[in-house]
């Protein structure tokens, strides 16, 4: 029986698998996508998200499949832990990594965002909460040059602004699963 332990070994296997198919996606993109999937109202099967990353059926060896599943399990366990999910830490903040994570998140949330937003009975407050949360978690998908231009136009110091936005991303990430669960109620109400 395989235990879904996520460590440096699994990280290297995922990176190696992505490199082997010349995938444009990074480990951080994959993690952002899986975060959105874990929080979604109906999680996808591993075959679906592996296909999204460019893998066809049977293309991955068993160890690599288990590495991806270990990452999914790790994200899921973290999302539903007492402390919630917070991608990265301030001490390990890397704008390129968080950019990839946000791109992956937006790609993953795109699977269900419209469905939730268009659900009959969705309140205006919920629609606004969904929009703000998705925008905040996807903020770093913006090109750095666009963030720099915004800071210049509003006389903001770039590094301070980015750190503030990162703190907001962490805060929103801790409650995103709860928000999606609440928004999904309108899908199941009669």
145-154 pLDDT, tens per residue?
Answer: 999 999 999 9
d(CA 68, CA 58): 14
Q: How much is the pLDDT for 189?
A: 63
Looking at the chain, the whole-number percentage of residues with pLDDT higher than 70 is 97
Q: Whole-angstrom distance between the N-terminal and C-terminal Cα of the chain?
A: 41
Higher-pLDDT residue of 25, 188:
25
Q: How far is CA 106 from CA 13, 82, 89, in A?
A: 24, 25, 20
Say if residue 143's pLDDT is above 80.
yes
Buried b (16+ CB within 10 A) or exposed e, 150-185: ebeeeeeeeeeebeebbeebbebbbebbebbeebbe
Residue 53 has pLDDT above 70, yes or no: yes
Output the pLDDT for position 190.
Answer: 47
pLDDT class of 185 with cuts at 50, 70, 90: confident
DSSP state of 58: T
The model's pLDDT over 70-99, given as tens digits with 9 standing for 90+, comes to: 999 999 999 988 777 877 777 778 999 999
Extract the tokens encoding 146.
């666009």
Closest to 75 in 3D by CA, of 65, 85, 66: 85
Q: Is the pLDDT of residue 2 over 60?
A: no
pLDDT of residue 84: 78
CB 134 within 8 Å of CB 109 = yes
Q: Which of 54, 84, 86, 49 is nearest to 68 (CA)?
A: 49
135: confidence class by pLDDT, cuts 50, 70, 90: very high
């Amino acid at each position: 029986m395989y235990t879904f332990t996520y460590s440096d070994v699994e990280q290297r296997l995922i990176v190696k698998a992505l490199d082997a198919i010349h995938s444009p996606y990074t480990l951080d993109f994959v993690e952002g996508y899986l975060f959105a999937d874990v929080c979604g109202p109906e999680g996808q099967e591993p075959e679906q998200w592996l296909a999204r990353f460019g893998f066809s059926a049977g293309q991955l060896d068993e160890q690599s499949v288990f590495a991806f599943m270990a990452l999914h399990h790790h994200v899921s366990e973290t999302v539903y832990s007492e402390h919630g999910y917070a991608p990265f830490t301030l001490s390990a903040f890397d704008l390129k990594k968080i950019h990839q994570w946000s791109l992956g998140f937006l790609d993953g949330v795109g699977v269900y965002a419209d469905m939730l937003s268009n659900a009959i009975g969705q309140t205006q407050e919920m629609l606004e909460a969904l929009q703000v949360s998705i925008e905040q978690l996807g903020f770093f998908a913006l090109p750095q040059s666009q963030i720099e231009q915004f800071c210049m136009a509003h006389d903001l110091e770039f590094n301070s602004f980015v750190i503030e936005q990162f703190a907001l991303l962490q805060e929103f990430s801790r409650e995103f699963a709860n928000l999606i669960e609440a928004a999904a109620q309108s899908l199941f109400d009669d």
